């Protein structure tokens, strides 16, 4: 019951994010494979940029839940104040750098001039919302940390509805908006993220003042603790995002059609991954709260219980992917060649995701315990030292197909699940202080 009450709203929010990505891909997919490939590159370049502030969400959530477990009511929102300040300080120079270097960044990832042009324009619009994304993750951590994840879900749904309407209008020139084509999707998303930040601020201003929201200036020891917890997670997110972008570069060496369908495949994979991460975020709160209340055995059991729920959930959600992959892919493209390229990789995604559930959940559970450096080491080591070199050798060097690369990806994620399961069982995370 506790997992459902806390986890279902977070899962709903993650599913809404997945659906937004899929709707975005479906709208742009109607403009052709080059448009689809371009926004794919732009979106993952943007993922690299925003990853540097995404770690604040887990840091704020773990510290808020720990303060709540300790009974420090007036200090519960202090980590949020610190997270917001850090988000703004990091985002401003990052936004300027990415805006000025957008063309050079995208040109590193693809050779097709049309794909580069679309990707660079899309990327420039998206990075205008880096500060908003950082703030949104910090707010999300606060609401999840106080066991009110329903508020996160409500705000996210409203934000996504705004995103879909504005992006549709800007892509196709509807509702009196200019017709910007693929880059309209990037501008629409940036506007929606800024709107979401404003909505979070207004609601938290009225509901979070009793917890200390903006009632005192952030203190250095709090900022230092937040940085110590968030920087490893942000670096992990950054290198993970860089790894996804590198994967797209590897696939681009195989072919433009493979790159276009890979963008669809990744968004479909996120449809399963993000609910798993949502359940993991429930584990973050449950584990951190139990440790704050000095109940390490409860924290240990929460990790396994949430992982079991995630395995069953992702297996059921992935069934359409391996039972009817052609039907699923036809939503995004009518090109028979693209559908044929994506059929078996999508089957592998649907079957393999339940095996990935343990890693998705225990990653977040370990973050709730404060083991952010350990999580970073395992995830980056398995991705950069094992998967990406093997994918490059099997793909561009040996002339392997997209299917071979996708199979390698599933195998490496299974390996990561085994490693995290062993780490959780050993309980080396119990004594970490936040």
Which pLDDT value is given to residue 31? 78
Which pLDDT value is given to residue 22? 67
CA angle 395, 41, 399 (to 5 degrees): 10
Q: Is 419 exposed, middle or buried (0-12, 13-18, 19+ CB in 10 A)?
A: middle
Which residues touch 37 (CB under 8 Å, ≥6 apart)? 110, 112, 115, 118, 119, 252, 256, 259, 260, 263
Which residues touch 93 (CB under 8 Å, ≥6 apart)? none
Contact 142, 77 (CB under 8 A): yes
Which pLDDT value is given to residue 21? 64
CA separation for the pair 179, 166 (Å, rounded)? 11
Contact 269, 317 (CB under 8 A): no
pLDDT < 50 positions in the chain: none
CA separation for the pair 69, 116 (Å, rounded)? 49
Q: What is the pLDDT of residues 6-42, one digit of tens each?
A: 767 766 666 655 666 667 777 777 777 788 778 878 8
Which residues touch 164 (CB under 8 Å, ≥6 apart)? 20, 23
Residue with tokens 């949020």: 80
Which pLDDT value is given to residue 119? 87
| Terminal Cα distance for the chain, rounded | 27
Which pLDDT value is given to residue 109? 76
Helical packing angle, 182-207 and 2-29, nearest 10°: 150
């Amino acid at each position: 019951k506790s997992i459902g009450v806390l986890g279902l709203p977070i899962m709903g929010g993650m599913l809404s994010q997945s659906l937004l990505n899929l709707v975005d891909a479906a709208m742009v997919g109607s403009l052709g494979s080059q448009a689809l490939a371009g926004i794919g590159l732009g979106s993952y370049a943007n993922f690299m940029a925003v990853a540097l502030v995404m770690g604040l969400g887990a840091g704020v959530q773990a510290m808020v839940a720990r303060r709540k477990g300790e009974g420090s009511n007036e200090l519960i929102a202090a980590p949020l104040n610190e997270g917001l300040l850090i988000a703004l300080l990091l985002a401003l120079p990052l936004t300027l750098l990415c805006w000025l270097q957008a063309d050079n960044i995208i040109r590193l990832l693809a050779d097709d001039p049309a794909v580069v042009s679309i990707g660079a324009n899309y990327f420039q619009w998206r990075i205008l919302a880096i500060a908003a994304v950082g703030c949104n993750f910090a707010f999300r951590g606060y609401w999840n940390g106080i066991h009110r994840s329903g508020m996160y879900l409500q705000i996210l749904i409203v934000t996504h509805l705004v995103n879909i309407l504005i992006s549709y209008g800007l892509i196709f020139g509807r509702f009196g908006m200019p017709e910007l084509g693929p880059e309209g999707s990037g501008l629409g998303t940036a506007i929606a993220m800024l709107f979401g930040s404003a909505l979070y601020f207004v609601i938290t201003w009225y509901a979070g003042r009793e917890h200390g929201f903006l009632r005192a200036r952030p203190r250095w020891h709090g900022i230092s603790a937040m940085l110590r917890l968030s920087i490893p997670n942000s670096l992990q997110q950054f290198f993970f995002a860089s790894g996804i972008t590198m994967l797209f570069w590897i696939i681009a060496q195989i072919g433009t059609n493979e790159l276009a369908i890979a963008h669809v495949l990744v968004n479909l994979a996120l449809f399963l991954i993000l609910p798993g991460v949502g359940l993991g975020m429930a584990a973050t709160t449950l584990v951190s709260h139990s440790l704050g209340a000095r109940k390490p055995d409860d924290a240990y059991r929460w990790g396994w219980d949430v992982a079991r729920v995630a395995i069953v959930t992702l297996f059921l959600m992935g069934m359409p992917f391996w039972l009817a992959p052609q039907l699923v892919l036809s939503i995004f493209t009518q090109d028979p060649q693209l559908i044929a390229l994506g059929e078996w990789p999508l089957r592998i995604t649907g079957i393999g995701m339940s095996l990935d559930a343990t890693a998705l959940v225990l990653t977040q559970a370990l973050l709730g315990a404060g083991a952010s450096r350990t999580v970073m080491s395992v995830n980056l080591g398995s991705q950069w030292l094992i998967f990406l070199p093997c994918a490059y050798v099997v793909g561009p060097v040996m002339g392997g197909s997209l299917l071979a690369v996708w199979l390698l990806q599933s195998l490496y994620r299974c390996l990561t699940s085994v490693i995290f399961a062993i780490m959780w069982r050993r309980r080396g995370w119990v004594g970490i202080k936040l």
